Amino acid sequence: MKTINKVVYILALLTFSRCSGDFIDIAPISNANEQNFYNTEQDFLNAIYGAYSTLKMSGTYSDNIQLIGDLRSDNTEMGTTASVRFPFYELSEFMDQETSPIVANVWNHHYMGIRRVNTILDRIDDSNANDQVRSTIVAEAKFLRALFYFNLVRVFGDVPLTTSRILTVEDAYEFSRTASNEVYNQIIEDLIAAEEALPLQIGNLHGRATKGAAGSLLGKVYLTIHEYEKAKIVLGKVIGSDQYDILDNFSDLWRAENKNNMESIFDVQFEKNVTASTGAPFTERYTPYLYPHLPFRTTGGGYNIPTEDLIEAFEQNDLRKGASLKESYINTDGSIVSGLEGRYNIKFYDMPIQGGGSGNNWPILRYADVLLMYAEALNEISFDPNGPSFDLLNRIRRRAGLPEKTFNHSDPFYAVNSQEEFRLAIEQERRVELAFEGHRWFDLVRTNRAVDVINPKVSAGVQPHQLLLPIPLSQVQINPENISQNPGY
């Protein structure tokens, strides 16, 4: 059994893949062939595309990271526990097991991505790539490594920090869990370097990182560790770059044919294709279980169902509500299906092809998120009645068709009269603006509000140790001297 677990661990740290032309289209290449592969400029372009492709794995943004961000919050729940869904139900009810396939996939697939970028960074200096191409690929690799580690440290806490290739099983056993603050230091170092070297624009090379993507992620990192002055500076640079804007119509954000628009900062790219599994799984998974209005029969639905609590959180006449969710659907027999079995989110609704998925991208960073983060940073530095932070908050609210919130408003519902009240206003606005995008749980943890907000809404309650997920049992068994379990599991 221990031999099998060794393989699982080494797959996470040592596996690499190659792509041909487009990062969506990848095929495996063995470690034995690495020596012959990493030589030419095209080799490294293929390699960085392969690293981007890791963002489409189930443990990253094809599924698990956003479901952790949503299901552990008060925004969504599971519509059914049928078949393989029970671990996701456990996730939503804070009954997580160290044997859960969710924690194993998140761990393994993020470390697979880290392995890929570390290999690029270790090998690229010996290539024949020209200086500009080399500089850009190094910056992209560091951006991706930072993103992978940011997810890992938020989900698991202390995690092994590797910044170079691990070549042997023996080397892998040398790594133990690194303190979170050291992991964050590496994330910040990588993002500062990436932000400096990446281009402002990428033209039609959708899905590759830019200066704005690195700055936006760095701002989110600084908010997470409560470095508000630094967050203000880097997010201010993103806003001042004039590369992004919010769309006039919120619903336009979610049309698959309108992806990679001016509000998109960094999206994982999906494309439905009848001959290749390059499409997004979100429509099929997020519609109700046994939903009858897809072009093929599927039992894949029932994930990430909006809660009644979230539905009630939308203010009256909020245009985002109708563009984000449905509360019922009409069955084939004409009956109305409502309640838990009928609710579903529609942000990522695009008619899929059987076996080829749908055409939605996954938004990791978008401009509305940046504006709200910047407003939050300003307020944490100093509460300024009706100052710039209010302008940013109300810019988002105006698009949603809502009245502005102001200091000393005549209607108490729209009055924001203190720093703490502004914190709650930002929390509310992020909840409904970014619903189903995987942010809510991480926002509540970041602001130290998770236990207070979620505890009354979960039957068994939430304990402080559950702010982190358990380390996969396989990792503890593989290397018990260096990999310990999180407290409480």
Q: Mind listing the pLDDT tens digit of every residue in the chain (489 residues)?
A: 223 233 333 333 333 333 333 222 223 344 545 666 888 999 999 999 999 999 999 999 999 999 999 999 999 999 999 989 999 999 999 999 999 999 999 999 999 999 999 999 999 998 888 999 999 999 999 999 999 999 999 999 999 999 998 876 667 778 899 999 999 999 999 999 999 999 999 999 999 999 999 999 999 999 999 999 999 999 999 999 999 999 999 999 999 999 999 999 999 999 998 777 799 999 999 999 999 999 999 999 999 999 999 999 999 999 999 999 999 999 999 999 999 999 999 999 999 999 899 999 999 999 999 999 999 999 999 999 999 999 999 999 999 999 999 999 999 999 999 999 999 999 999 999 999 999 999 999 999 999 999 999 998 899 999 999 999 999 999 899 999 999 999
- In the DSSP assignment, the letter for residue 20 is S
DSSP string, 345-398: E-TT--PPBTTTBB---EEEEEHHHHHHHHHHHHHHH---TTSHHHHHHHHHHH
Q: Say how far apart CA 266 and CA 249 lie, in whole Å.
A: 20
Question: How far is residue 237 from each of residues 93, 117, 207, 224, 390, measured CA to CA in Å?
Answer: 39, 26, 21, 18, 19
Choose among 431, 469, 463: nearest CA to 447: 431
CB neighbours of residue 276 within 10 Å: 13
Which CATH number among 3.40.50.280, 1.10.443.10, 1.25.40.390, 3.90.950.10 corresponds to the domain 2-197+467-478?
A: 1.25.40.390
The tokens for 487 are 């407290």
**Segment holding 77, helix H or strand E:** strand 76-77
Contact 344, 288 (CB under 8 A): yes
Cα angle 110, 111, 114 (rounded to 5 degrees) comes to 95
Q: Say how far apart CA 73 and CA 67 lie, in whole Å.
A: 9
Q: How far is CA 323 from the centre of its chain?
A: 20
Q: Say how far apart CA 386 and CA 374 lie, in whole Å.
A: 15
Provide the angle, in degrees to the nearest 10, between the axes of the packed helices 388-399 and 419-433: 30
pLDDT of amino acid 7: 32
Kindly list the domain boundaries of the chain, sorted by start residue.
Answer: 2-197+467-478, 270-360
pLDDT of amino acid 32: 45
| Burial class of residue 204 (count of CB atoms within 10 Å of its CB; 0-12, 13-18, 19+) | exposed
Contact 280, 358 (CB under 8 A): yes
- Max Cα distance, the chain (Å): 71
pLDDT of amino acid 468: 98
